[in-house]
Amino acid sequence: MLDFSGREAVVTGGTGALGTAVVGRLIAAGAAVHVPVFIAQELEGFPYRDHDSVRIHEGLDLTKETDVARLFDATSSLYSSIHVAGGFAMGPIAHTGAETWDHLMRMNATTCFLCCREAVRTLDGGEGRLVNVAARPALVPTAQMSAYSASKAAVAALTLSLAEELSGSGIWVNAIVPSIIDTAANRAAMPDADHDAWPKPAEIAETIAFLASPQNAVTRGALVPVYGKS
């Protein structure tokens, strides 16, 4: 049984479909959860906005060093930092502008790097768990996703390098690698797909919660596929 009692977690992207599932799972396991929010509209429909175990941090831009530092400075007993925040875009490279490349790199790679760095600084060599979110196209060649794949490949490489850097400490770093997640937005975008084959947010949250937990005693430097049947 996962037990986060007396421990804090940061969950970026915590108001999205996957992030909400992760926040709920951590709360159920006894964690106090910090959720950064960039714009107030992200809180619409977020079921844990008024939960006693959740602290919302509004107006934070996770591509800015000062904002990320403010988020982690607000913790007092950090144990887990889970980085779900990110962005997506696809299209043929001939029609992919530099602004799309820069946006995906900022949303996926930069936010992950800054949050990992501040988490490591906050943990200061003590025990803790970091979990990043890569993506299947980073590992499996996928057409018309060159910029997105590169940004998520950066997350995967960061995970592996940081896990090795921290191998002598008590901080384990891992990443999950999802395929298309079964969300309302993805169903709307791909109405004819086999939705039953897609992994569900609650199912992926179980894997994330384990990797982020004290019960994960040995797993580090892993890129864990969460593909479901897809």
pLDDT tens per residue across span 146-165: 999 999 999 999 999 999 99
Please count the residues of the chain: 230
Q: Which pLDDT does position 230 carry in this prediction?
A: 87
Asked if 81 and 130 count as a contact pair (C-beta separation under 8 A), the reply is: yes
Q: With a cut of 90, say whether residue 125 has pLDDT above it.
A: no
Task: State pTM to two decimals.
Answer: 0.97
CATH class of 8-226: alpha beta
pLDDT digits (tens, 9 = 90+) for 47-86: 999 999 999 999 999 999 999 999 999 999 999 999 999 9
